[in-house]
Structure 1
Amino acid sequence: MGKLQLLMKYLFTLIYLCSFSIFSQEVKKDILYLDQNLVPISKTLFKTKSNSVIFHSRNYEKDSVIESRLHYQLYFGKMSLKDVDGILTNFNKKSNEKIEKSKTLLIYHYETLSGYEEVLKRREESFYKFINSKDSKRVSLNNRYIKPRLKKYTKKDYLSKIKKNAKKKSKVITKVSEKFNTSTIHVVRNNKGYPLNNKYFTWIEDSTSTFQNKYHGTIMVLKPNGNYFIRYGHLTKEKIYTILEESNWSSFYTDWDKSLKSNSSVGFGIVKELMKKKKISAIQ
Protein backbone atom coordinates (compact mmCIF):
# COMPACT_ATOMS: atom_id res chain seq x y z
CA MET A 1 0.00 0.00 0.00
CA GLY A 2 1.47 3.36 -1.06
CA LYS A 3 2.04 6.35 1.20
CA LEU A 4 -0.85 8.25 -0.43
CA GLN A 5 -3.25 5.37 0.22
CA LEU A 6 -2.09 5.10 3.84
CA LEU A 7 -2.54 8.83 4.29
CA MET A 8 -6.05 8.73 2.80
CA LYS A 9 -7.00 5.77 5.01
CA TYR A 10 -5.70 7.62 8.06
CA LEU A 11 -7.66 10.77 7.15
CA PHE A 12 -10.91 8.85 6.58
CA THR A 13 -10.48 7.07 9.92
CA LEU A 14 -9.81 10.35 11.68
CA ILE A 15 -12.87 12.01 10.09
CA TYR A 16 -15.05 9.04 11.05
CA LEU A 17 -13.88 9.07 14.68
CA CYS A 18 -14.36 12.83 14.97
CA SER A 19 -17.85 12.62 13.46
CA PHE A 20 -18.81 9.76 15.77
CA SER A 21 -17.51 11.68 18.78
CA ILE A 22 -19.47 14.81 17.86
CA PHE A 23 -22.77 13.08 17.17
CA SER A 24 -22.51 10.68 20.10
CA GLN A 25 -22.17 13.51 22.56
CA GLU A 26 -25.51 14.43 24.03
CA VAL A 27 -26.44 18.03 23.43
CA LYS A 28 -27.01 19.57 26.81
CA LYS A 29 -30.06 21.80 26.83
CA ASP A 30 -30.57 24.82 29.04
CA ILE A 31 -33.31 24.60 31.65
CA LEU A 32 -35.91 27.34 31.82
CA TYR A 33 -37.68 27.54 35.18
CA LEU A 34 -41.30 28.70 35.02
CA ASP A 35 -43.79 29.36 37.80
CA GLN A 36 -47.46 28.35 37.78
CA ASN A 37 -48.27 31.32 35.52
CA LEU A 38 -45.47 30.43 33.05
CA VAL A 39 -43.38 33.37 34.26
CA PRO A 40 -39.59 32.71 34.32
CA ILE A 41 -38.13 32.48 37.83
CA SER A 42 -34.75 31.63 39.34
CA LYS A 43 -33.65 28.07 40.01
CA THR A 44 -33.52 28.81 43.75
CA LEU A 45 -37.09 30.11 43.87
CA PHE A 46 -38.27 27.23 41.70
CA LYS A 47 -36.72 24.72 44.09
CA THR A 48 -38.30 26.45 47.08
CA LYS A 49 -41.75 26.44 45.51
CA SER A 50 -41.50 22.88 44.20
CA ASN A 51 -40.87 21.70 47.77
CA SER A 52 -44.12 23.36 48.83
CA VAL A 53 -47.15 21.15 49.47
CA ILE A 54 -49.13 23.35 47.07
CA PHE A 55 -47.06 22.62 43.96
CA HIS A 56 -45.62 19.82 41.88
CA SER A 57 -43.22 20.23 38.97
CA ARG A 58 -42.96 18.70 35.51
CA ASN A 59 -40.36 18.91 32.74
CA TYR A 60 -41.34 19.65 29.14
CA GLU A 61 -38.62 19.03 26.57
CA LYS A 62 -38.59 21.55 23.71
CA ASP A 63 -36.32 21.77 20.66
CA SER A 64 -33.67 23.92 22.28
CA VAL A 65 -34.60 24.06 25.96
CA ILE A 66 -36.13 22.06 28.81
CA GLU A 67 -38.99 23.84 30.54
CA SER A 68 -39.39 23.01 34.21
CA ARG A 69 -42.87 24.17 35.14
CA LEU A 70 -44.73 24.46 38.41
CA HIS A 71 -48.31 23.21 38.59
CA TYR A 72 -50.75 23.40 41.46
CA GLN A 73 -51.33 20.03 43.03
CA LEU A 74 -53.89 21.53 45.37
CA TYR A 75 -56.03 24.56 44.58
CA PHE A 76 -59.08 26.34 45.96
CA GLY A 77 -60.51 28.85 43.50
CA LYS A 78 -63.56 30.82 42.46
CA MET A 79 -64.93 31.15 38.92
CA SER A 80 -67.72 33.33 37.57
CA LEU A 81 -71.23 31.97 37.12
CA LYS A 82 -70.73 32.55 33.39
CA ASP A 83 -67.76 30.16 33.42
CA VAL A 84 -69.81 27.61 35.38
CA ASP A 85 -72.58 27.83 32.77
CA GLY A 86 -69.98 27.42 30.02
CA ILE A 87 -68.64 24.21 31.56
CA LEU A 88 -72.15 22.82 32.09
CA THR A 89 -73.19 23.69 28.53
CA ASN A 90 -70.10 22.00 27.10
CA PHE A 91 -70.57 18.90 29.25
CA ASN A 92 -74.28 18.63 28.46
CA LYS A 93 -73.52 18.65 24.73
CA LYS A 94 -71.25 15.63 25.11
CA SER A 95 -72.88 13.83 28.02
CA ASN A 96 -75.33 10.94 27.79
CA GLU A 97 -77.29 12.34 30.71
CA LYS A 98 -78.55 15.78 31.73
CA ILE A 99 -76.36 17.61 34.25
CA GLU A 100 -78.39 19.86 36.52
CA LYS A 101 -77.15 23.34 37.41
CA SER A 102 -78.22 22.96 41.03
CA LYS A 103 -75.83 20.07 41.66
CA THR A 104 -72.20 20.07 42.72
CA LEU A 105 -69.98 18.57 40.03
CA LEU A 106 -67.41 15.93 40.92
CA ILE A 107 -65.11 15.73 37.89
CA TYR A 108 -62.44 13.08 37.34
CA HIS A 109 -59.86 13.64 34.61
CA TYR A 110 -58.05 10.80 32.83
CA GLU A 111 -55.06 11.45 30.59
CA THR A 112 -55.45 8.32 28.45
CA LEU A 113 -57.88 5.42 28.06
CA SER A 114 -56.82 2.38 26.07
CA GLY A 115 -58.87 0.16 23.77
CA TYR A 116 -58.50 -3.60 23.45
CA GLU A 117 -55.75 -3.53 20.80
CA GLU A 118 -53.71 -1.06 22.83
CA VAL A 119 -54.09 -3.11 26.02
CA LEU A 120 -53.12 -6.30 24.19
CA LYS A 121 -50.02 -4.65 22.76
CA ARG A 122 -48.91 -3.41 26.19
CA ARG A 123 -49.51 -6.83 27.75
CA GLU A 124 -47.30 -8.49 25.15
CA GLU A 125 -44.57 -5.87 25.48
CA SER A 126 -44.55 -6.21 29.27
CA PHE A 127 -44.50 -10.00 29.08
CA TYR A 128 -41.58 -10.27 26.65
CA LYS A 129 -39.68 -7.62 28.57
CA PHE A 130 -40.18 -9.70 31.71
CA ILE A 131 -39.09 -13.07 30.30
CA ASN A 132 -35.96 -11.48 28.87
CA SER A 133 -35.07 -9.83 32.16
CA LYS A 134 -33.02 -11.12 35.08
CA ASP A 135 -36.17 -11.19 37.21
CA SER A 136 -37.73 -13.89 35.06
CA LYS A 137 -37.87 -17.22 36.89
CA ARG A 138 -38.45 -20.58 35.30
CA VAL A 139 -41.31 -22.62 36.67
CA SER A 140 -40.58 -26.14 37.91
CA LEU A 141 -43.08 -28.77 36.80
CA ASN A 142 -42.29 -32.48 37.33
CA ASN A 143 -38.58 -31.70 37.29
CA ARG A 144 -38.95 -30.01 33.92
CA TYR A 145 -38.41 -26.31 33.45
CA ILE A 146 -40.70 -24.25 31.28
CA LYS A 147 -40.82 -20.55 30.53
CA PRO A 148 -43.81 -18.51 31.71
CA ARG A 149 -46.59 -18.23 29.15
CA LEU A 150 -48.64 -15.20 28.27
CA LYS A 151 -52.20 -15.82 29.38
CA LYS A 152 -54.77 -15.46 26.63
CA TYR A 153 -56.70 -12.21 26.88
CA THR A 154 -59.70 -11.89 24.58
CA LYS A 155 -61.82 -8.90 23.69
CA LYS A 156 -64.61 -10.52 25.68
CA ASP A 157 -62.32 -10.49 28.75
CA TYR A 158 -61.53 -6.83 28.12
CA LEU A 159 -65.18 -5.77 27.78
CA SER A 160 -66.18 -7.87 30.78
CA LYS A 161 -63.59 -6.09 32.93
CA ILE A 162 -64.80 -2.69 31.75
CA LYS A 163 -68.41 -3.59 32.56
CA LYS A 164 -67.44 -4.86 36.00
CA ASN A 165 -65.49 -1.67 36.80
CA ALA A 166 -68.31 0.51 35.44
CA LYS A 167 -70.86 -1.19 37.69
CA LYS A 168 -68.60 -0.73 40.68
CA LYS A 169 -68.07 2.96 39.91
CA SER A 170 -71.78 3.42 39.32
CA LYS A 171 -72.59 2.23 42.84
CA VAL A 172 -70.11 4.70 44.34
CA ILE A 173 -71.44 7.53 42.15
CA THR A 174 -75.03 6.82 43.24
CA LYS A 175 -74.04 6.71 46.90
CA VAL A 176 -72.16 10.03 46.72
CA SER A 177 -74.95 11.65 44.70
CA GLU A 178 -77.60 10.69 47.24
CA LYS A 179 -75.45 11.88 50.14
CA PHE A 180 -74.18 15.19 48.69
CA ASN A 181 -76.46 15.99 45.70
CA THR A 182 -73.65 15.66 43.15
CA SER A 183 -73.23 14.79 39.48
CA THR A 184 -70.08 12.83 38.67
CA ILE A 185 -68.33 13.39 35.34
CA HIS A 186 -65.42 11.42 33.87
CA VAL A 187 -63.32 13.38 31.36
CA VAL A 188 -60.61 11.84 29.14
CA ARG A 189 -58.05 13.69 27.04
CA ASN A 190 -56.72 10.88 24.80
CA ASN A 191 -59.07 8.02 23.97
CA LYS A 192 -57.34 5.14 22.19
CA GLY A 193 -60.32 2.97 21.37
CA TYR A 194 -61.91 2.74 24.81
CA PRO A 195 -65.73 2.33 24.63
CA LEU A 196 -66.93 5.57 26.23
CA ASN A 197 -70.66 4.97 25.92
CA ASN A 198 -72.14 2.97 28.76
CA LYS A 199 -75.34 3.03 30.79
CA TYR A 200 -73.63 3.37 34.15
CA PHE A 201 -72.08 6.84 34.24
CA THR A 202 -71.13 9.83 32.10
CA TRP A 203 -67.95 9.83 29.98
CA ILE A 204 -66.84 12.99 28.18
CA GLU A 205 -64.02 13.14 25.65
CA ASP A 206 -62.01 16.37 25.72
CA SER A 207 -59.55 15.72 22.91
CA THR A 208 -58.83 19.44 22.48
CA SER A 209 -57.80 19.55 26.17
CA THR A 210 -59.68 22.82 26.71
CA PHE A 211 -60.90 21.81 30.15
CA GLN A 212 -57.64 20.25 31.34
CA ASN A 213 -55.47 23.09 30.04
CA LYS A 214 -57.46 25.62 32.04
CA TYR A 215 -58.08 23.49 35.12
CA HIS A 216 -55.00 21.31 35.49
CA GLY A 217 -55.85 18.47 37.84
CA THR A 218 -57.03 14.92 38.36
CA ILE A 219 -60.06 15.63 40.55
CA MET A 220 -62.24 18.73 40.60
CA VAL A 221 -65.14 19.67 42.86
CA LEU A 222 -67.21 22.49 41.33
CA LYS A 223 -70.07 24.05 43.26
CA PRO A 224 -73.03 25.82 41.60
CA ASN A 225 -71.86 29.16 43.07
CA GLY A 226 -68.47 28.90 41.29
CA ASN A 227 -66.34 27.72 44.21
CA TYR A 228 -64.04 24.94 43.08
CA PHE A 229 -61.33 22.68 44.40
CA ILE A 230 -58.69 20.89 42.32
CA ARG A 231 -56.35 18.09 43.30
CA TYR A 232 -53.63 16.76 41.02
CA GLY A 233 -53.11 13.17 42.12
CA HIS A 234 -55.02 10.68 44.21
CA LEU A 235 -57.54 11.67 46.85
CA THR A 236 -59.24 9.11 49.08
CA LYS A 237 -63.01 8.85 49.39
CA GLU A 238 -62.84 10.13 52.97
CA LYS A 239 -60.95 13.27 51.93
CA ILE A 240 -63.36 13.97 49.08
CA TYR A 241 -66.19 13.66 51.61
CA THR A 242 -64.43 16.24 53.80
CA ILE A 243 -64.60 18.74 50.92
CA LEU A 244 -68.20 17.92 49.99
CA GLU A 245 -69.51 18.02 53.56
CA GLU A 246 -68.41 21.62 54.16
CA SER A 247 -70.81 24.22 52.76
CA ASN A 248 -68.70 27.25 53.72
CA TRP A 249 -65.18 27.14 52.29
CA SER A 250 -63.93 30.37 53.87
CA SER A 251 -61.55 28.56 56.21
CA PHE A 252 -60.37 26.36 53.32
CA TYR A 253 -59.35 29.42 51.30
CA THR A 254 -57.55 30.88 54.33
CA ASP A 255 -55.63 27.65 54.96
CA TRP A 256 -54.71 27.33 51.29
CA ASP A 257 -53.52 30.94 51.02
CA LYS A 258 -51.43 30.59 54.17
CA SER A 259 -49.87 27.37 52.87
CA LEU A 260 -49.14 29.01 49.51
CA LYS A 261 -47.46 32.12 50.92
CA SER A 262 -45.37 30.23 53.46
CA ASN A 263 -44.11 27.61 50.96
CA SER A 264 -44.79 25.06 53.68
CA SER A 265 -43.97 21.45 52.86
CA VAL A 266 -46.89 20.17 54.97
CA GLY A 267 -49.45 22.99 54.83
CA PHE A 268 -52.01 24.27 57.30
CA GLY A 269 -55.55 23.26 58.23
CA ILE A 270 -57.45 21.59 55.40
CA VAL A 271 -54.34 21.52 53.18
CA LYS A 272 -52.41 19.56 55.78
CA GLU A 273 -55.37 17.23 56.28
CA LEU A 274 -55.84 16.55 52.57
CA MET A 275 -52.16 15.96 51.86
CA LYS A 276 -51.44 13.90 54.96
CA LYS A 277 -50.41 10.38 54.07
CA LYS A 278 -52.15 7.55 55.84
CA LYS A 279 -49.89 5.77 58.30
CA ILE A 280 -49.86 1.99 58.17
CA SER A 281 -49.82 0.43 61.60
CA ALA A 282 -47.39 -2.41 62.25
CA ILE A 283 -49.91 -3.96 64.64
CA GLN A 284 -52.82 -5.61 62.84
Structure 2
Amino acid sequence: MGNDFNKRLADKAAHIEDILKAFLPKEEGYARTVIEAMNYSLLAGGKRLRPMMILEAYKLFAGNDADEKVVYPFMAAMEMIHTYSLVHDDLPAMDNDEYRRGRKTTHAVYGAGMATLAGDGLLNLAYETAINGAMRGTTLSDYDGDNSNRYLAALDILAGKAGIYGMVGGQCADICAENATEIPEDEMKDTLHYIDENKTGALIEASLMIGAVIGGASAQQVSMMEKIGSNVGIAFQIQDDILDITSTSEVLGKPIGSDEKNGKSTYVSLYGMDNARDSVKKLSEEATDILDGLGFENSFLHELFNYLIYREK
Protein backbone atom coordinates (compact mmCIF):
# COMPACT_ATOMS: atom_id res chain seq x y z
CA MET A 1 0.00 0.00 0.00
CA GLY A 2 2.09 2.89 -1.27
CA ASN A 3 2.05 6.59 -0.61
CA ASP A 4 0.56 7.10 -4.07
CA PHE A 5 -2.63 5.34 -2.96
CA ASN A 6 -2.77 7.32 0.28
CA LYS A 7 -2.46 10.57 -1.67
CA ARG A 8 -5.25 9.58 -4.09
CA LEU A 9 -7.40 8.50 -1.14
CA ALA A 10 -6.82 11.86 0.58
CA ASP A 11 -7.59 13.73 -2.66
CA LYS A 12 -10.83 11.80 -3.13
CA ALA A 13 -11.83 12.39 0.52
CA ALA A 14 -11.14 16.14 0.10
CA HIS A 15 -13.26 16.15 -3.07
CA ILE A 16 -16.11 14.48 -1.15
CA GLU A 17 -15.67 16.98 1.70
CA ASP A 18 -16.28 19.81 -0.81
CA ILE A 19 -19.36 18.03 -2.16
CA LEU A 20 -20.73 17.56 1.37
CA LYS A 21 -20.24 21.21 2.27
CA ALA A 22 -22.43 22.21 -0.68
CA PHE A 23 -25.33 20.26 0.87
CA LEU A 24 -24.99 21.58 4.44
CA PRO A 25 -28.04 23.45 5.75
CA LYS A 26 -27.54 27.10 6.78
CA GLU A 27 -27.16 27.68 10.52
CA GLU A 28 -30.00 30.13 11.03
CA GLY A 29 -33.52 30.54 12.38
CA TYR A 30 -35.15 28.83 15.37
CA ALA A 31 -33.67 25.45 14.37
CA ARG A 32 -30.16 26.92 14.33
CA THR A 33 -28.80 24.93 17.29
CA VAL A 34 -29.81 21.56 15.90
CA ILE A 35 -28.40 22.53 12.49
CA GLU A 36 -25.11 23.56 14.15
CA ALA A 37 -24.99 20.18 15.89
CA MET A 38 -25.75 18.40 12.59
CA ASN A 39 -23.00 20.28 10.75
CA TYR A 40 -20.55 19.72 13.62
CA SER A 41 -21.22 15.98 13.32
CA LEU A 42 -20.98 15.90 9.52
CA LEU A 43 -17.69 17.81 9.42
CA ALA A 44 -15.98 15.69 12.08
CA GLY A 45 -13.65 14.23 9.48
CA GLY A 46 -13.66 10.51 8.78
CA LYS A 47 -12.70 8.46 5.78
CA ARG A 48 -15.81 9.27 3.68
CA LEU A 49 -15.70 5.66 2.48
CA ARG A 50 -19.38 5.23 1.67
CA PRO A 51 -19.79 8.26 -0.59
CA MET A 52 -16.44 7.32 -2.12
CA MET A 53 -17.82 3.86 -2.92
CA ILE A 54 -20.92 5.40 -4.52
CA LEU A 55 -18.77 7.58 -6.75
CA GLU A 56 -16.29 4.83 -7.68
CA ALA A 57 -19.06 2.30 -8.41
CA TYR A 58 -20.85 4.91 -10.52
CA LYS A 59 -17.70 5.58 -12.55
CA LEU A 60 -17.11 1.84 -13.12
CA PHE A 61 -20.45 1.51 -14.90
CA ALA A 62 -20.98 4.99 -16.34
CA GLY A 63 -17.36 5.53 -17.39
CA ASN A 64 -14.79 7.99 -16.10
CA ASP A 65 -16.04 10.76 -18.39
CA ALA A 66 -19.67 10.56 -17.22
CA ASP A 67 -21.16 13.51 -15.31
CA GLU A 68 -20.60 12.55 -11.68
CA LYS A 69 -22.84 15.35 -10.34
CA VAL A 70 -25.79 13.02 -10.78
CA VAL A 71 -24.64 10.99 -7.75
CA TYR A 72 -23.63 13.92 -5.52
CA PRO A 73 -27.01 14.09 -3.69
CA PHE A 74 -26.84 10.34 -2.99
CA MET A 75 -23.25 10.63 -1.76
CA ALA A 76 -24.23 13.42 0.64
CA ALA A 77 -27.31 11.49 1.76
CA MET A 78 -25.27 8.37 2.47
CA GLU A 79 -22.76 10.28 4.60
CA MET A 80 -25.63 11.94 6.50
CA ILE A 81 -27.14 8.53 7.30
CA HIS A 82 -23.77 7.12 8.34
CA THR A 83 -23.09 10.18 10.51
CA TYR A 84 -26.50 10.10 12.22
CA SER A 85 -25.88 6.46 13.14
CA LEU A 86 -22.57 7.41 14.77
CA VAL A 87 -24.13 10.34 16.65
CA HIS A 88 -26.79 8.03 18.08
CA ASP A 89 -24.28 5.21 18.70
CA ASP A 90 -22.18 7.53 20.87
CA LEU A 91 -25.13 8.60 23.06
CA PRO A 92 -25.08 7.73 26.79
CA ALA A 93 -27.99 5.32 26.25
CA MET A 94 -25.99 3.43 23.59
CA ASP A 95 -22.18 3.13 23.65
CA ASN A 96 -21.64 6.27 25.75
CA ASP A 97 -18.45 7.37 23.97
CA GLU A 98 -17.02 10.82 24.58
CA TYR A 99 -14.53 10.88 21.71
CA ARG A 100 -14.75 9.95 18.05
CA ARG A 101 -12.20 10.68 15.30
CA GLY A 102 -10.04 12.36 17.93
CA ARG A 103 -12.57 14.97 19.04
CA LYS A 104 -15.54 15.33 21.37
CA THR A 105 -18.70 13.52 20.28
CA THR A 106 -21.84 15.49 19.48
CA HIS A 107 -23.58 14.74 22.79
CA ALA A 108 -20.43 15.73 24.71
CA VAL A 109 -20.61 19.17 23.07
CA TYR A 110 -24.36 19.79 22.63
CA GLY A 111 -25.94 17.51 25.25
CA ALA A 112 -27.78 14.23 24.76
CA GLY A 113 -31.13 15.79 23.81
CA MET A 114 -29.73 18.00 21.06
CA ALA A 115 -27.49 15.17 19.80
CA THR A 116 -30.57 12.93 19.50
CA LEU A 117 -32.28 15.63 17.46
CA ALA A 118 -29.17 16.17 15.35
CA GLY A 119 -29.24 12.47 14.44
CA ASP A 120 -32.95 12.69 13.60
CA GLY A 121 -32.28 15.81 11.54
CA LEU A 122 -29.46 14.18 9.58
CA LEU A 123 -31.51 11.08 8.79
CA ASN A 124 -34.40 13.15 7.48
CA LEU A 125 -32.12 15.55 5.61
CA ALA A 126 -30.56 12.53 3.90
CA TYR A 127 -33.89 11.60 2.34
CA GLU A 128 -34.71 15.23 1.48
CA THR A 129 -31.33 15.51 -0.27
CA ALA A 130 -31.59 12.22 -2.20
CA ILE A 131 -35.20 12.83 -3.26
CA ASN A 132 -34.29 16.32 -4.41
CA GLY A 133 -31.42 14.88 -6.46
CA ALA A 134 -33.74 12.28 -7.98
CA MET A 135 -36.34 14.91 -8.92
CA ARG A 136 -33.81 17.21 -10.55
CA GLY A 137 -31.33 14.71 -11.97
CA THR A 138 -30.73 14.16 -15.67
CA THR A 139 -32.75 11.45 -17.41
CA LEU A 140 -31.23 7.97 -17.03
CA SER A 141 -31.71 4.80 -19.07
CA ASP A 142 -34.38 2.30 -17.99
CA TYR A 143 -33.43 -0.21 -15.29
CA ASP A 144 -34.27 -3.90 -15.63
CA GLY A 145 -34.97 -4.32 -11.90
CA ASP A 146 -38.35 -4.19 -10.13
CA ASN A 147 -38.63 -0.50 -10.97
CA SER A 148 -37.51 0.82 -14.34
CA ASN A 149 -36.71 4.27 -12.90
CA ARG A 150 -33.10 4.20 -11.72
CA TYR A 151 -33.59 7.07 -9.26
CA LEU A 152 -36.52 5.32 -7.57
CA ALA A 153 -34.52 2.08 -7.48
CA ALA A 154 -31.62 3.94 -5.83
CA LEU A 155 -33.95 5.60 -3.29
CA ASP A 156 -35.49 2.21 -2.49
CA ILE A 157 -32.01 0.76 -1.81
CA LEU A 158 -31.02 3.77 0.32
CA ALA A 159 -34.14 3.60 2.51
CA GLY A 160 -34.22 -0.20 2.78
CA LYS A 161 -30.58 -0.69 3.71
CA ALA A 162 -30.68 2.10 6.31
CA GLY A 163 -33.79 0.81 8.10
CA ILE A 164 -35.10 -2.13 10.11
CA TYR A 165 -34.20 -4.59 7.33
CA GLY A 166 -30.66 -3.20 7.26
CA MET A 167 -28.58 -1.03 9.57
CA VAL A 168 -31.21 -0.37 12.25
CA GLY A 169 -32.03 -4.09 12.39
CA GLY A 170 -28.33 -4.82 12.88
CA GLN A 171 -28.09 -2.26 15.66
CA CYS A 172 -31.13 -3.79 17.35
CA ALA A 173 -29.54 -7.25 17.32
CA ASP A 174 -26.29 -5.70 18.58
CA ILE A 175 -28.00 -4.15 21.63
CA CYS A 176 -29.99 -7.34 22.33
CA ALA A 177 -26.80 -9.42 22.21
CA GLU A 178 -24.92 -7.29 24.78
CA ASN A 179 -24.12 -9.26 27.94
CA ALA A 180 -26.27 -12.11 26.61
CA THR A 181 -24.10 -14.85 28.12
CA GLU A 182 -26.83 -17.50 28.08
CA ILE A 183 -27.03 -17.64 24.26
CA PRO A 184 -25.53 -20.91 22.87
CA GLU A 185 -22.35 -20.34 20.85
CA ASP A 186 -23.82 -21.47 17.49
CA GLU A 187 -26.74 -19.10 17.87
CA MET A 188 -24.36 -16.31 18.91
CA LYS A 189 -22.31 -16.89 15.75
CA ASP A 190 -25.46 -16.56 13.61
CA THR A 191 -26.45 -13.42 15.52
CA LEU A 192 -22.99 -11.93 15.06
CA HIS A 193 -23.09 -12.61 11.31
CA TYR A 194 -26.47 -10.86 11.12
CA ILE A 195 -25.13 -7.89 13.12
CA ASP A 196 -22.02 -7.51 10.94
CA GLU A 197 -23.96 -8.00 7.71
CA ASN A 198 -26.50 -5.33 8.66
CA LYS A 199 -25.05 -2.90 11.18
CA THR A 200 -21.89 -2.37 9.11
CA GLY A 201 -22.48 -4.15 5.81
CA ALA A 202 -25.84 -2.68 4.81
CA LEU A 203 -24.59 0.87 4.09
CA ILE A 204 -21.53 -0.42 2.25
CA GLU A 205 -23.78 -2.68 0.14
CA ALA A 206 -26.12 0.26 -0.48
CA SER A 207 -23.25 2.53 -1.52
CA LEU A 208 -21.93 0.12 -4.15
CA MET A 209 -25.45 -0.70 -5.36
CA ILE A 210 -26.59 2.93 -5.66
CA GLY A 211 -23.49 3.90 -7.62
CA ALA A 212 -24.03 0.94 -9.92
CA VAL A 213 -27.78 1.57 -10.44
CA ILE A 214 -27.32 5.23 -11.31
CA GLY A 215 -24.26 4.37 -13.40
CA GLY A 216 -26.30 2.14 -15.71
CA ALA A 217 -25.68 -1.38 -14.33
CA SER A 218 -28.13 -4.23 -14.87
CA ALA A 219 -30.07 -5.74 -11.96
CA GLN A 220 -27.77 -8.78 -12.03
CA GLN A 221 -24.67 -6.58 -11.84
CA VAL A 222 -26.21 -4.62 -8.97
CA SER A 223 -26.81 -7.91 -7.16
CA MET A 224 -23.12 -8.79 -7.60
CA MET A 225 -22.15 -5.39 -6.20
CA GLU A 226 -24.40 -6.14 -3.21
CA LYS A 227 -22.48 -9.37 -2.55
CA ILE A 228 -19.17 -7.50 -2.78
CA GLY A 229 -20.52 -4.96 -0.29
CA SER A 230 -21.65 -7.70 2.08
CA ASN A 231 -18.19 -9.29 2.09
CA VAL A 232 -16.37 -6.00 2.47
CA GLY A 233 -18.75 -4.87 5.23
CA ILE A 234 -18.29 -8.04 7.27
CA ALA A 235 -14.50 -8.00 6.73
CA PHE A 236 -14.43 -4.32 7.71
CA GLN A 237 -16.30 -5.06 10.96
CA ILE A 238 -14.08 -8.02 11.83
CA GLN A 239 -11.05 -5.77 11.29
CA ASP A 240 -12.72 -3.24 13.59
CA ASP A 241 -13.06 -5.95 16.26
CA ILE A 242 -9.39 -6.87 15.81
CA LEU A 243 -8.29 -3.22 16.15
CA ASP A 244 -10.43 -2.80 19.28
CA ILE A 245 -8.05 -5.30 20.90
CA THR A 246 -4.72 -4.68 19.19
CA SER A 247 -4.65 -0.92 18.62
CA THR A 248 -4.32 2.12 20.91
CA SER A 249 -6.79 4.94 21.49
CA GLU A 250 -4.20 7.42 20.13
CA VAL A 251 -4.08 5.59 16.79
CA LEU A 252 -7.83 4.90 16.59
CA GLY A 253 -8.96 8.32 17.85
CA LYS A 254 -11.54 6.61 20.06
CA PRO A 255 -11.43 4.44 23.20
CA ILE A 256 -10.23 0.86 22.76
CA GLY A 257 -11.53 -2.18 24.62
CA SER A 258 -15.10 -0.83 24.37
CA ASP A 259 -16.41 -4.18 23.06
CA GLU A 260 -15.17 -6.00 26.14
CA LYS A 261 -16.32 -3.18 28.43
CA ASN A 262 -19.81 -3.32 26.90
CA GLY A 263 -19.98 -7.11 27.14
CA LYS A 264 -20.13 -7.59 23.38
CA SER A 265 -19.38 -10.85 21.63
CA THR A 266 -17.14 -10.20 18.64
CA TYR A 267 -15.64 -12.29 15.87
CA VAL A 268 -12.40 -12.38 17.84
CA SER A 269 -14.03 -13.51 21.09
CA LEU A 270 -16.02 -16.26 19.30
CA TYR A 271 -13.54 -17.50 16.70
CA GLY A 272 -10.14 -16.40 18.02
CA MET A 273 -7.70 -13.86 16.57
CA ASP A 274 -6.15 -16.13 13.89
CA ASN A 275 -9.52 -17.22 12.50
CA ALA A 276 -10.70 -13.61 12.52
CA ARG A 277 -7.69 -12.53 10.45
CA ASP A 278 -8.19 -15.48 8.05
CA SER A 279 -11.85 -14.56 7.56
CA VAL A 280 -10.95 -10.97 6.69
CA LYS A 281 -8.55 -12.27 4.02
CA LYS A 282 -11.01 -14.82 2.59
CA LEU A 283 -13.94 -12.38 2.43
CA SER A 284 -11.82 -9.73 0.75
CA GLU A 285 -10.41 -12.09 -1.86
CA GLU A 286 -13.92 -13.28 -2.75
CA ALA A 287 -15.08 -9.65 -3.12
CA THR A 288 -12.11 -8.92 -5.39
CA ASP A 289 -12.84 -12.00 -7.51
CA ILE A 290 -16.44 -10.85 -8.09
CA LEU A 291 -15.20 -7.40 -9.09
CA ASP A 292 -12.77 -9.01 -11.54
CA GLY A 293 -15.65 -11.12 -12.88
CA LEU A 294 -17.53 -7.91 -13.66
CA GLY A 295 -14.56 -6.83 -15.76
CA PHE A 296 -13.18 -4.24 -13.34
CA GLU A 297 -9.68 -5.55 -12.65
CA ASN A 298 -7.23 -3.11 -11.08
CA SER A 299 -9.88 -0.52 -10.27
CA PHE A 300 -9.54 1.97 -7.42
CA LEU A 301 -12.15 -0.09 -5.52
CA HIS A 302 -9.69 -3.00 -5.42
CA GLU A 303 -7.15 -0.78 -3.71
CA LEU A 304 -9.77 0.70 -1.42
CA PHE A 305 -10.95 -2.72 -0.23
CA ASN A 306 -7.35 -3.74 0.34
CA TYR A 307 -6.74 -0.60 2.35
CA LEU A 308 -9.77 -1.31 4.56
CA ILE A 309 -8.47 -4.76 5.40
CA TYR A 310 -5.00 -3.71 6.39
CA ARG A 311 -5.95 -0.41 7.95
CA GLU A 312 -4.74 0.47 11.44
CA LYS A 313 -7.53 2.86 12.38
**Band of TM-score, shorter chain:** under 0.3
Normalized per residue, the structure richer in strand is 1
